[in-house]
Structure 1
């Protein structure tokens, strides 16, 4: 009898130690998951903020570009950043409830966000090489043919000339061939070209009044730098999501083993109680 009791005590201690070790493993994964989730929320907020800032501050320049890649890239950034923040909230709910279905959904969403960020990064990287070609082919058309006709394009041209302190696409001479010049014969260049702006200041094309350099070089440089930044941020977030997929898979596996062990233990305890009675 004493030996049987000691064997039972030993088996119970082994079970308790097994449960404790599994609980410790699950808790460690939980803490790691929560830390990662918080970091992902910061990264998602950064990407979302960068995308929104780009659309608000640089969005008007999109109308001077013929290829929609630039616009698509930044809308993808906004979508992936917002999706990352919402996915973080889902992750915290899943870990609090220890729900494997929600964790599986969380992992699937991470995969989709990873795909979005990868596409965004690749588009930004590829389009860097197309910026000069696009601007050389179409920027003169936007400046010369559409200025004064399309109000959005006109506003975009004015902002580019004011921000980069330039005049015309290649040079201030571009305005001599524009329809705007024929409709405003008393003006040499738009007022947005002037170094010190005032109504009607574009009547003089003296170098003391306007810059002679065109906007294409500064505009191209700005776009390339911005696209490089977007590519780095997007691909970095993609790497972070790969890490998240690995952590979530470990967490999913731990929870599955824990729940399986607990169900088996419950059945064994129930059978032992029946044997006692």
Structure 2
């Protein structure tokens, strides 16, 4: 029994240190993500144009839960270090640790479920928004779509197609099939020159061999899938470890010294 408790104590000390480090790093990273998500004009523009503000807000809520969960991990890490650093374990402190472990498990589980539910809506919202931008791309005279002028739309679409090496929403054909005003004004061209490998080459947008053929929605979808996959894996692992920690803390609370009040340190 004494050997088992010593091994559990060592496990908790290592786990608590890891919680402090992961909680601090994860909290900062998710906080930065929320800040960028809410303050980047292009992202807001995408969701506003596609009437997907609800999906935008749900992503913020989910990442807010993740940030709070990382904060709980940071606190749990300090509580665990403090509790296990004592020669005689305190039952009350173990109960506090078990509570935080349960809280972390529930928060990460809720965030992963919320992101999974709105994953497809997020992808569809991005595709719809990009198509709206494509329709606005060919407007002349500084026409305004929502709050976005034609020049801003052009810059956004061109930058996206060049940086992500994609063309149109679902491929270069979508510039024609969607009946965009740009296609009407440029019947001989397949897509804007920003779809070309080398936009400066003359008539490059009339030769498929010189153009990107993959749709921008697919590229954005792949990026979001990779991000969400990482979040799912990290969230599931942390939730599982926290559940194990909660059960172990409850066990140690039942077998620890019951004296010393409720002070962890």
Give the TM-score normalised by structure 1: 0.62
Cα distance per residue 1:177-202 (max 9 Å; x no partner)? 369x99xxxxx97775453467xx89
Residue 93 (str. 1) matches residue 96 (str. 2):
no
Residue 37 (str. 1) matches residue 16 (str. 2):
yes
Structure 2, unaligned runs of 5 or more: 137-144, 261-265
Cα distance per residue 1:112-135 (max 9 Å; x no partner)? 221110012112322334344334
Task: Check 1:116–1:150 CA distance in 2 against 1; reply closer, same or farther (3 A cut).
Answer: farther
Alignment coverage as a number of residue pairs: 231
Q: Residue 273 of structure 1 aligns with which residue? A: none
1:35 Cα shift? Answer: 2.7
Task: Check 1:40–1:178 CA distance in 2 against 1; reply closer, same or farther (3 A cut).
Answer: farther
Cα distance per residue 1:210-246 (max 9 Å; x no partner)? 5354312222222223222211221121001001101
Cα distance per residue 1:146-167 (max 9 Å; x no partner)? 5953999777645532332123
Q: Residue 118 of structure 1 aligns with which residue? A: 109
User: Could you tell me how far apart the structure 1 residues matched to 2:202 and 2:23 are?
Assistant: 45
Secondary structure of 2:85's match? helix
Structure 1, unaligned runs of 5 or more: 1-20, 183-187, 261-277
User: Could you tell me how far apart the structure 1 residues matched to 2:111 and 2:154 are?
Assistant: 29
Residue 80 (str. 1) matches residue 69 (str. 2):
yes
Q: Residue 215 of structure 1 aligns with which residue? A: 216
8 A Cα contact 2:192 2:205, kept in partner:
no
- Which segment is superposed worse, 27-36 or 94-103? 94-103
RMSD: 4.3
Secondary structure of 1:205's match? helix
8 A Cα contact 1:195 1:210, kept in partner:
yes
- Which segment is superposed worse, 148-157 or 25-34? 148-157
Cα distance per residue 1:87-135 (max 9 Å; x no partner)? 2022212333544444333322222221110012112322334344334
Task: Check 1:150–1:177 CA distance in 2 against 1; reply closer, same or farther (3 A cut).
Answer: closer
User: Could you tell me how far apart the structure 2 residues matched to 1:74 and 1:192 are?
Assistant: 33
Return the match for 1:104 from 95, 98, 117.
95
Q: Residue 243 of structure 2 aligns with which residue? A: 242
Q: Residue 51 of structure 1 aligns with which residue? A: 30
1:42 Cα shift? Answer: 5.5
Cα distance per residue 1:7-28 (max 9 Å; x no partner)? xxxxxxxxxxxxxx7x666544
Q: Residue 232 of structure 1 aligns with which residue? A: 233
User: Could you tell me how far apart the structure 2 residues matched to 1:76 and 1:158 are?
Assistant: 35
Residues 1-277 of structure 1 mapped to structure 2, 5 A cutoff: 27-41=6-20, 43-44=22-23, 47-48=26-27, 51=30, 60=40, 62-63=43-44, 64-65=46-47, 66=52, 67-68=55-56, 69-97=58-86, 98-145=89-136, 146=145, 148-149=148-149, 157=157, 159-172=159-172, 173=175, 177=180, 193-196=195-198, 205-207=205-207, 210-211=211-212, 213-257=214-258, 259=259
User: Could you tell me how far apart the structure 1 residues matched to 2:152 and 2:64 are?
Assistant: 20
